Structure 1
Amino acid sequence: RASYHRGLEHVCDSDEFLRRLEYALKARSDESFMIIARIDAGNAVNGSWKEAARRARAVRALGVEAVIPMARTKESLEAFRHEFPDNDMVLLTGTYFNGLHPDEIRKYGFQIIMYPLCTIIASVAGVIELWRGVQKTGIAKMDPDRAREAREEIEAAIGLPEFWEIEKETVEAAHKDYTGCAPAGYEGYNQKRT
């Protein structure tokens, strides 16, 4: 439901929840593929951490290896672990911007820490900031050193340095000694050779 994203959470009844996981387990064709049960009962309307713990025990009995109880704060981590002190399942949790340090989360017995939405929110925030600046000033401002660093990381990730070496020996053999220049936008109007 869309209301989930404004803090109004609902969960299906326990039988339906378990039935879905039973089908997931039956559908698994590779035993190394981990089935993780997401348990929203601690934050749900009329929910409780006691119910979240009950569901964790029920999915463990089904053969599910890991749970994510959607404990998002120190208080909710403590509440879940108070109700579910067991240490025989993999426990996952998410943390957000300015959240708890991983060492603190691990103290509660959580082995896997996720950062949901962080990448997309940070990306979109950067795009919004850039284009608001263009809208106000007509200039796409970005720190040149950071822009160069990001571009170099992208180029390395997609393998461009290796392709440049191949091209030096093939289609760009006539320009083998060309060292290049900084891409437009990183040095301002003065495109220095590199």
Structure 2
Amino acid sequence: MSDLLSTAPRARLRDLLAGPGPLVAPGAYDALSARLVEQAGFDAVYMTGFGTTAGLLGRPDVGLLTGTEMADNARRLVAAVDVPVIADGDTGYGNAINVLRTVQTYEQAGVAAIQLEDQVTPKKCGHMSGKEIVPLPEMLGKIRAATEARRDPEFLIIARTDAVAVEGVDAAIERARAFRDAGADLLFVEAPTSEADIERIAGELAGVAPLVFNWAEGGRTPPLGLDRMAELGFALVIYPIGTLLAATAGMRSLLETLRKDGTPQAALPGLPAFDEFTSLVGLPEVRELEQRYR
């Protein structure tokens, strides 16, 4: 039964990616934010490594989390929603042998797709400076390992290159093509810094494999409109950290009021009511189950 439950969102993700326009996947960093993404009407959730690191450790995305910690977080997100979860898998947490275990662990967690990148371990957020990338043959070995490790053919492998910041757009396009030849299902060229570069990447790769656009809030990539991204042929658009930034702003505001006034009373009108919050996290369903099994 669990295999059937995990396969259904993966098949759904493939259907969504084959649709006429880009699939929009807002970022989530914990089960609550994933649930809110689903309740807002989105068809997929993106588990952000940046947000997961901030949420679990309160630290920056510089390779501090292990694969086990990331997979555990992914498992909680999958359990909280019915829509497909696309999960950041960073570098695979080591070499190709580590990638084998990472992919199997993420697949067992129930995610629909894993994203793997070609940075040197420990990695950095794709919109930070000082990144390094592994030699192309090493990354191709990781992608082959990932494709061979999966047991469910519906489980998708997203291959990301950070080469734009290190070796330029030409190298990034060359790497992406090689990633597809190695078996990647989707291609992700991280952090182009101009619309011209985005157009070139899309023009050369849109016919090779479905493409991912990272609309990193406040990052180095120009913020294109969704219609423009559709015109360029992107299949998946992720908004990785907006929910994290919004939560941070909300908590800061509440805490400022509490520190100033001594109580949160003045901030309460802008917050969900207690009953509203317990409803959105599923209390009515729990009450129903209590009655059923009484």
Q: Does the TM-score normalized on the shorter chain lie above 0.5? A: yes
Are residues 1:80 and 2:201 paired?
Answer: yes
Contact 1:71 1:93 in 2 (8 A): no
1:157 paired residue among 273, 280, 289: 280
Task: Mark the runs of 5 or more structure 2 residues left unpaired by the alignment.
Answer: 1-60, 63-122
Letter in 2 for 1:105: M
Deviation at 1:170, TM superposition (A): 10
Instruction: Please name the residue that 1:131 is paired with.
Output: 255
Structure with greater strand share of residues:
2
Deviation at 1:19, TM superposition (A): 1.2
- State the distance in 2 between where 1:75 and 1:151 align: 49
Q: Could you list the per-position Cα deviations for residues 2-35 of structure 1 after superposition, in whole angstroms to 9, with x for gaps in the alignment? A: 3834322221111111111111111111110011
- State the distance in 2 between where 1:62 and 1:167 align: 51
Instruction: Please name the residue that 2:269 is paired with.
Output: 144
| Higher CA-based Rg | 1
Letter in 1 for 2:183: G
Deviation at 1:164, TM superposition (A): 4.5
- State the distance in 1 between where 2:134 and 2:212 align: 21
Distance 1:26 1:167, change over 3 A: closer
Q: Could you list the per-position Cα deviations for residues 38-78 of structure 1 after superposition, in whole angstroms to 9, with x for gaps in the alignment? A: 1111122xx11111111111111112111111145534412
Identical amino acids, percent of aligned pairs: 27
Deviation at 1:166, TM superposition (A): 6.7
- State the distance in 2 between where 1:169 and 1:64 align: 46
Distance 1:137 1:61, change over 3 A: same
Distance 1:17 1:162, change over 3 A: closer
The answer to which structure, 1 or 2, has the higher relative contact order (CA under 8 A, 6+ apart) is 2
Task: Mark the runs of 5 or more structure 1 residues left unpaired by the alignment.
Answer: 172-194
Are residues 1:23 and 2:145 paired?
Answer: yes
- State the distance in 2 between where 1:4 and 1:78 align: 25
Query: TM-score under structure 2 normalisation?
Result: 0.49
What does 1:61-76 align with in structure 2 at a 5 Å threshold? 61-71=181-191, 74-76=195-197
Letter in 1 for 2:154: S
Distance 1:65 1:168, change over 3 A: closer
Deviation at 1:114, TM superposition (A): 0.4
CA RMSD between the two structures: 2.9
Q: Could you list the per-position Cα deviations for residues 157-183 of structure 1 after superposition, in whole angstroms to 9, with x for gaps in the alignment? A: 333224446778999xxxxxxxxxxxx
Contact 1:71 1:80 in 2 (8 A): no
Letter in 2 for 1:142: A
Contact 2:202 2:234 in 1 (8 A): no
- State the distance in 2 between where 1:77 and 1:112 align: 14
Instruction: Please name the residue that 2:99 is paired with.
Output: none
What does 1:1-40 align with in structure 2 at a 5 Å threshold? 2=62, 4-5=124-125, 6-40=128-162
- State the distance in 2 between where 1:160 and 1:108 align: 43
SS at match of 2:164: coil
What does 1:79-98 align with in structure 2 at a 5 Å threshold? 79-82=200-203, 84-97=204-217
- State the distance in 1 between where 2:215 and 2:241 align: 10
Contact 2:186 2:210 in 1 (8 A): yes
Number of aligned residue pairs: give it: 166
Distance 1:147 1:51, change over 3 A: same
Deviation at 1:94, TM superposition (A): 1.2
- State the distance in 2 between where 1:18 and 1:112 align: 22
